[in-house]
């Protein structure tokens, strides 16, 4: 059984402020409890495959000219650097 504390911990790691406990934590708790239905699906022995994507199908890694200077669309930049809040 998932606890509300576990949900709050994940929200914190995801940098999400869950100030409204009922709206976020309780409802997410209900949603996760609903997912318990998966336990009765009987798929433990089922294999699943991911679609392979060969390198040849990928777009070439080359510069595509772009008419606008994207950095100038930002509000917080200095020269060619994006300004971010202090980490330490």
Partner 1 sequence: MNLKISGLEYIEEVKNGNISAEDFVSATIDRIKNIDEKLHAFLQVNSKAVEQARDIDKKIKSGKKVGSCFGMPISIKDNICIKHSKTTCASKMLEKFIAPYDATVITKLKEQDAVFVGKANLDEFAMGLTTEFSAYGPSRNPWNTDYVPGGSSGGSAVSVSAFECVASLGSDTGGSVRNPASFCSAVGYKPTYGLISRYGLVSYANSIEQIGPVTRTVKDAAFLLNILSGLDPNDNTTIDGGGQDYLSEIDSGIEGKKIGIIQEMMSEGIDPAVLAATNDAVSKLEGLGAVCENVSIDMVKYSVASYYTITATEAGSNLARYDNLRYGYDFPVEGFEFNSYISKARSKFGPEVIRRMILGGFVPSSGHAGKYFLKSLKVKSKLTNEVNEAFKKYDFLIAPTVPILPFKIGEKIDDPIALFLVDINTVMSNLTGIPSISVPYALSNGLPIGIQLLAKHNHDKSLLKVARALETTVRLPEVPI
Residues near partner 1 (CB under 8 A) are 2, 6-7, 10-11, 13-18, 20, 23-24, 27-28, 30-32, 34-35, 37-41, 43-44, 46-49, 53, 57-59, 66, 68, 70, 73, 75-76, 82-87
DSSP H or E segment with residue 78:
strand 77-78
Which CB sits closer to partner 1, 41 or 63?
41
**Nearest distance, CB of residue 79 and partner 1, angstroms:** 16
For residues 25 and 4, the answer to whether their CB atoms sit within 8 Å is yes
CA-CA-CA-CA torsion sign (53, 56, 57, 62): positive
């Amino acid at each position: 059984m998932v606890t509300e504390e576990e949900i709050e911990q994940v929200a914190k790691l995801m940098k999400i402020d869950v100030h409204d406990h009922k709206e976020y934590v309780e409802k997410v708790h209900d949603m996760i409890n609903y997912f318990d239905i998966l336990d009765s699906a009987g798929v433990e022995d089922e294999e699943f495959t991911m679609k392979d994507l060969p390198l040849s199908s990928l777009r070439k890694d080359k510069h595509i000219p772009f008419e606008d200077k994207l950095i100038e669309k930002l509000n917080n930049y200095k020269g060619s650097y994006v300004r971010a809040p202090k980490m330490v």
